[in-house]
Amino acid sequence: MARTKKKTDPVMPPESLEAEVRALRQELTFLREHQMFRVYQSVRKVLLFRLAIGMATGLGTVVGATLLLSVIVWGLSQIAFVPILGDFSAQMAQRIQEAVGGGN
């Protein structure tokens, strides 16, 4: 199946060129009015935006790691009936309690 190539004249008539330039200007105006371009025109806004993104990422990482670690430690403490893993998990739970509770 052969594709037919559409021949285009490299030189456009002035009317078509004006219409193309007008359409291009409308698109550029639309893009410049977009919120992203308005935000990135101010260095202060960019820095604040990036700071907020970084803080949210850091907070999400800490909360996620805390929840995951607590689930893993709880799961290890529940398997005390397995001789090797039971002793290991009991020691880990004891060390964590000492570190968190100050040895109380």
Q: What is the pLDDT of residue 12?
A: 60
Residue type, position 97, single letter? Q
Closest CA to 93 of 61, 69, 62: 69
Closest CA to 61 of 72, 50, 69: 69
Say yes or no to pLDDT of 5 above 80: no
For residues 104 and 97, give the distance between their C-alpha atoms in angstroms, rounded to a whole number. Answer: 8
Confidence of residue 19 (pLDDT cuts 50, 70, 90): confident
What SS3 state is found at 104? coil
Residues in the chain: 104
For residues 88 and 54, give the distance between their C-alpha atoms in angstroms, rounded to a whole number. Answer: 37
Question: Cβ neighbours of residue 13 under 8 Å, at least 6 residues apart?
Answer: none
Tens digits of per-residue pLDDT, 60-104?
A: 999 999 999 888 888 877 776 666 666 777 788 888 888 887 655
Q: What is the pLDDT of residue 93?
A: 81
